[in-house]
Amino acid sequence: MLKSKYSKPILYFIFYCIFILILSIVLSISIPHLNLTYFIPIRDIGIEVGLIFLLILPISSIIGVLIGGYLFAPLFLYAHKKIFGRRVEYGIYEKDFTKFKFFSEGIFAALMTINLSLLLTTPLIISISAGTGSNSYIDDLSTFLALLMFTIGLASILFSTTWFLMDSGVLYSNLKKARDTPKPVEIRSVGRWYGQLLKGYAGVSVVLSYIEFMDLFIPQLANDLSIPLFVMLLVVFIPFPLIVVIPIIPALIISDRLKDHRIRFIREKARKLGITSNAEVTFELKIK
């Protein structure tokens, strides 16, 4: 079961590690005197890229998933019940989750990671990261890449909150309140409601920001770098959101392995908030 469930994402992660190692070596040889960021006390862009993409991003996402799920998911459930509790009823829906969908879970966290990095690439942050007051495209690009090691953790915190709540099966419904009113009946997962807000923001905003990012950096890199190095970087940046999903894979596997524990954890927190009823969701069509 372990092999069939995780073999494909683990294989993707292995290929990703090999590619990053090759890219790091090429960068160290091609531009040995270029420093990526002062956030890392090493003056070798190849080593810095390797550290960020092979070590820091996976660890940051793991920490983010654990903090988001075990700290912020209960807080969000508490806030949701305080805000909407008088208008809806809550219940726990028992359902088995067996399939491991790393891409659908990770892609929006990756989009949020990129969007936060783009938003934080400001003159102040650039001056701290690049150690210079200039605002060249190289400084912008290096700062954007360096910020990923922080923003992937923040994005993991945000989205792991939804993953924990969705898997716990906590639902809410306005069925009794809407029965005698023209309001539509809603039965929704607390986690999915929150997740849809995050996905909508991450999906729309990052597309606009990323188009601007590609339009700014790709022509500049084409003019300043050798053809082999430019082609390698182009292979990285065009599918960049897909690439950022891969270092999240270890965090997703750990989260999946903890599924039974975290479901019990959230449901215990729900019971302390008075959510004790079991929810049964049915949908029947009757021909008149």
- What average pLDDT does the segment 163-170 reach? 91
Which pLDDT score is estimated for 17? Answer: 96
Helix (H, G, I), strand (E, B) or coil at 89: strand
Establish if 79 belongs to a structural domain: yes
Report the domain count for the chain. 1
Establish if 241 belongs to a structural domain: yes
Please give the mean pLDDT across all residues of the chain.
83
Establish if 104 belongs to a structural domain: yes
Which pLDDT score is estimated for 78? Answer: 94
Question: Which domain range does residue 260 map to?
Answer: 2-272
Establish if 95 belongs to a structural domain: yes
d(CA 120, CA 129): 11
Which pLDDT score is estimated for 177? Answer: 67
Helix axes 137-168, 123-130, angle to 10 degrees: 110
User: What is the tens place of the pLDDT at every residue in 16-67?
Assistant: 999 999 989 988 888 777 778 888 888 888 899 999 999 999 999 999 999 9
pLDDT band at 1 (very low <50, low <70, confident <90, very high): very low
Which pLDDT score is estimated for 178? Answer: 62
Establish if 223 belongs to a structural domain: yes
Handedness of CA 235, 236, 240, 245 (dihedral sign): positive
Establish if 266 belongs to a structural domain: yes
Among 63-77, 137-151, 246-260, the range scoring the smallest mean pLDDT is 137-151
Establish if 278 belongs to a structural domain: no
Establish if 181 belongs to a structural domain: yes
Report the predicted TM-score, pTM, of the whole model to 2 decimal places. Answer: 0.85
